[in-house]
Amino acid sequence: MSRRVLVLNGPNLGRLGSREPDVYGSTSYEGLVDACRTLGAELGLDVEVRETNDEGELIRWLHEAADGALPVVLNPGAFTHYSYAMRDAAAQRTAPLIEVHLSNPYAREEFRHTSVVAAVASGTVAGFGIGSYRLALRALAERLAG
């Protein structure tokens, strides 16, 4: 039986492949979804990938995860730096939550150096493009098995 995992993506992640490919890579959002589902299946995880530009919707998904003890891979996008409401929802987690970023926020503009989520996450993976999601899913599978 597979363990259900949510991969939650915040604003602008649906624009992957066309949005600043020099920063975020050329893989499309559909490519990200396929990569997460494929690796998830290999790891015995039933991966559901979602994307929203709406802060309230992302918060509702985090509540759903907390209520269902669902592990989460979270790319909050720009919400990373200022959404205390999202941070508070993530803090209610009842299963591992791994923060991911395609780029390395510390190698970018100074406002990106702060994550309000990092302190309530199980861990953070950043700077490896789509590989950040693969690393996060592998870490999650290890943590769930251990």
Residues at the binding site are: 75, 81, 88, 102-103, 112
The answer to pTM > 0.95 is no
Q: How many CA atoms lie within 13 A of 114 on its CB side?
A: 9
- Number of domains making up the chain: 1
Q: Kindly list the catalytic residues.
A: 24, 101
| Range(s) of the domain holding residue 94 | 3-145
Q: Which residues are annotated as a binding site for substrate?
A: 75, 81, 88, 102-103, 112
**What confidence tens digit (pLDDT) does each residue in 89-119 have?**
999 999 999 999 998 877 666 866 689 999 9
Contacts of 50 (CB under 8 A, 6+ apart): 6, 7, 8, 9, 61
What is the per-residue pLDDT across 27-55, written as a single tens digit (0 to 9) for each? 788 999 999 999 999 999 999 999 999 99
